[in-house]
């Protein structure tokens, strides 16, 4: 599985962005997927995850109510809609896929996800 993230950019506080992650492979519909982020000088942190069918989601408390993760199995793509962006959302955002435990429970742990895309940079100015 290869992942290609896109959609990052420079926005102002309060703006919205939509990140996309396109995945290769034939088993995408059976994978849990998610997003992590890493701000300069900080540890990588969980942002959101969605289960293989798209029926369950998890969010970090810091983004709950502002971000929305979705998955389009027909297009092998998943998304992170980010609204009401704040300067502390500034980070490199990484899309991830869990390959080893297909159709398993959702996780916030980075070690669960064994495929990572390249980061897409999001910068929110105040």
Which residues sit opposite 26 in a β-bridge?
none
What value, to the nearest 5°, has the Cα angle with vertex 77 and ends 72 and 83?
85
Residue 67 has pLDDT above 90, yes or no: yes
What is the reported pLDDT for 101? 82
Mean pLDDT of the region 48-77: 96
How large a percentage of the chain has pLDDT more than 70?
100
Mean pLDDT of the region 26-37: 94
Please compute Rg for the chain using Cα positions.
Answer: 13
Mean pLDDT of the region 83-98: 98
């Amino acid at each position: 599985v290869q992942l290609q993230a896109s959609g990052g950019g420079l926005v102002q506080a309060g703006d919205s962005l939509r990140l996309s992650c396109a995945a290769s492979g034939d088993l995408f519909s059976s994978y849990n997927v998610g997003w992590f982020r890493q701000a300069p000088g900080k540890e990588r942190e969980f942002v959101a995850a969605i289960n293989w069918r798209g029926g369950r989601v998890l969010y970090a408390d810091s983004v709950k109510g502002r971000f929305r993760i979705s998955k389009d199995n027909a297009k092998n793509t998943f998304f992170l809609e980010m609204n009401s962006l704040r300067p502390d959302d500034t980070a490199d955002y990484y899309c991830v896929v869990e390959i080893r435990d297909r159709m398993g429970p959702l996780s916030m742990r980075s070690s669960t996800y064994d495929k990572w895309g390249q980061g897409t940079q999001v910068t929110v100015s105040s």
